[in-house]
Every structure is written in C-alpha cells, then in structure tokens.
C-alpha cells in the first residue's frame, strides 16, 4: 500500500518526464470524455451507451480515488468543487443510469480542474512558450467553453425532451449562445419562471466571461512570473528587470528552458 501511495504521488505531483507524460494523458482522457458527453447528451438511452457510461464512470472513480489517496487533507479535498462534481458524475454514471446522460455532462468541469492544476500549469509554463504568452486567453477560453456547454446541457434538460435528439441539442446551444451574446432573436424563448431565471444567469455570467476572453486576447500579452523583491506577478515575455522595483528577473524562454 505504501508503494502504491508513493507511485501515485510521484505520478500526480512529480516533475519527472514520466509524471508529466501521465498528466498529459489525463488531459487527453478528459478531452475525449468531454467530447463523448457533449454527443451523448442528445442521444437516446441504449444498452451500448450504458456500457460506455460505466467504463467512463470506473475510470473517473479510479482517478478520484487516487487523488484522495495521496491527499494530505482528505476532508479539504472532498469539499473542493471539482471533487464534488466528480462524485456526482460517478454516481450518475454508475448508480443512476437512467439519468446519467444529462447529469454526467457535469464531467466537463474536470477539464477546468486539470488545466488549473498547479503541477500541470507548471509543466505548461515550463515547456510551452505559446502557453506562457497566451495563458490568460487560454484559461478564459476554457472558462467560456465550460460555461457554454454546461448551460446548454441545462437548457436541453429543462426545455427539450430526449426524443428531440441532436436537433434539440443544437437548438439549446443556439439559444445559449444567442442569450449569452444578448442577440435575442426571440425564435426560442423560455416560458417558465425557472427558464427565465436561467436565461438571466446565462446573460449575466456569460457576458462577463465573454468580455474576459476578449480582454485577454486584445490586451498586451504578459507572462505570469512573480518578482522575488516586490511580488509583481505580470511581466512582458522578454523582460529582464521588474518594471516596479527594477530587480532582475529570470523568466524562462524557449532557449533557456531547453538548457
């Protein structure tokens, strides 16, 4: 058991090439599962779909169990939003198959957890100059992507029936994007109080996320690097001195990272 604990800790938090490769495989798995849940949200239930749901549920459960096993504070780990989301998803996939198609779509939230994980962020900053230069835009795009498809799933569940299939899901996506951008064509509207409140939520939160993405794209790009003297955390990619206090900086570039 101790050997398993040590191996998992090295894979999830280590800095070796093997550990980084393992975390990138987690990203790949997460991307595949996200695409699957986007498609499965609009598909009618079937035995084959239940089998695939079970496979994803077991894999997510293994990842969740590993994270809890290596956690130094399991109680705090259990209260994290992404852990609670994983618990809900595992429950819907393994123990509530009749509702798994809709609720399991919350699995998309794990993409945000993985991209924001401390060690993964360190890997990307160290190995990718593109990520370092466009970190804010990438994270803002992921935030918006997660919000759009989670709210689309909610709209589909509340407004459309399972028989509407892909066409109904596309209509839900169309409504979400039209509401988020405040275009409001009016051809698809919410008639219930709950639906109207959901539309208000989409407008308020969605517009904020959209503006955040636009600002990250068009404002001058800076790299996250904390100055040891004054604590300033944002600098130009080629800065060698802190603009605030003048202290020397050692920001990694493609050339220095490969040495």
Residue 21 has pLDDT above 50, yes or no: yes
Please tell me the predicted confidence (pLDDT) of residue 258.
44
Burial 74-104, CB ≥16 within 10 A → b, else e: eeeeeeeebbebbebbbbbbbeebeebbbbb
Q: How far apart are CA 237 and CA 215, in angstroms?
A: 18
Contact 169, 142 (CB under 8 A): no
pLDDT for position 27: 79
pLDDT, average across residues 22-46: 77
Q: Would you say residue 100 has pLDDT above 70? A: no
Tell the CATH topology of 128-221.
Helix Hairpins (1.10.287)
Report how far residue 97's alpha carbon sits from residue 52's, in angstroms, rounded to the nearest whole number: 11
Q: Which of 86, 73, 74, 78 is nearest to 112 (CA)?
A: 86
Whole-number average pLDDT of the chain: 77
What integer pLDDT is reported at residue 39 of this predicted model? 74
d(CA 108, CA 39): 12
> 54 pLDDT exceeds 60?
yes
The confidence score (pLDDT) of residue 133 equals 73
Could you tell me the pLDDT band of residue 109, with boundaries at 50, 70 and 90?
A: low
HSE at residue 53, side-chain half, CA atoms within 13 A, is 29
Task: Please identify which residue in the block is written with the tokens 């779909």.
Answer: 49
Report the first-to-last Cα separation within the chain, whole angstroms. 37
- Whether the pLDDT of residue 143 is over 50: the answer is yes
Per-residue tokens: 85: 């989301």
CA distance 257 to 220: 23
- Look at residue 168 and tell me whether its pLDDT is greater than 50: yes
Reported as a pLDDT band with limits 50, 70 and 90, residue 145 is confident
Task: Give the other-Cβ count within 10 Å of 209's Cβ.
Answer: 18
Q: Which segment of 34-38, 113-117, 164-168, 255-259 scores lowest on mean pLDDT?
A: 255-259
pLDDT of residue 38: 72
């Amino acid at each position: 058991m101790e050997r398993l604990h040590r191996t998992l800790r090295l894979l999830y938090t280590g800095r070796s090439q093997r550990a980084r490769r393992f975390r990138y495989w987690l990203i790949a798995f997460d991307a595949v599962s996200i695409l699957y849940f986007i498609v499965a949200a609009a598909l009618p239930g079937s035995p084959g779909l239940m089998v695939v749901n079970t496979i994803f549920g077991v894999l997510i459960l293994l990842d969740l169990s590993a994270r809890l096993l290596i956690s130094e504070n399991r109680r705090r780990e259990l209260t994290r939003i992404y852990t609670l989301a994983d618990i809900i998803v595992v429950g819907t996939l393994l123990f509530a198959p009749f509702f798994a198609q809709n609720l399991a779509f919350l699995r998309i939230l794990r993409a945000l957890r993985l991209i924001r994980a401390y060690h993964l962020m360190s890997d990307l900053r160290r190995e990718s100059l593109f990520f370092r230069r466009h970190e804010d835009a990438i994270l803002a795009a992921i935030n918006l992507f997660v919000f759009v498809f989670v709210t689309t799933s909610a709209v589909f569940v509340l407004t459309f029936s399972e028989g509407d299939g892909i066409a109904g899901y596309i209509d839900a996506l169309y409504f979400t994007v039209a509401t988020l951008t405040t275009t409001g064509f009016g051809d698809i509207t919410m008639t219930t109080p709950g639906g109207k409140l959901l539309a208000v939520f989409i407008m308020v939160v969605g517009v904020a996320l959209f503006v955040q993405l636009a600002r990250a794209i068009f404002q001058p790009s800076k790299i996250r690097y904390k100055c040891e003297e004054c604590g300033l955390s944002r600098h130009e990619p080629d800065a060698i001195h802190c603009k605030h206090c003048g202290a020397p900086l050692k920001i990694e570039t493609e050339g220095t990272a490969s040495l």
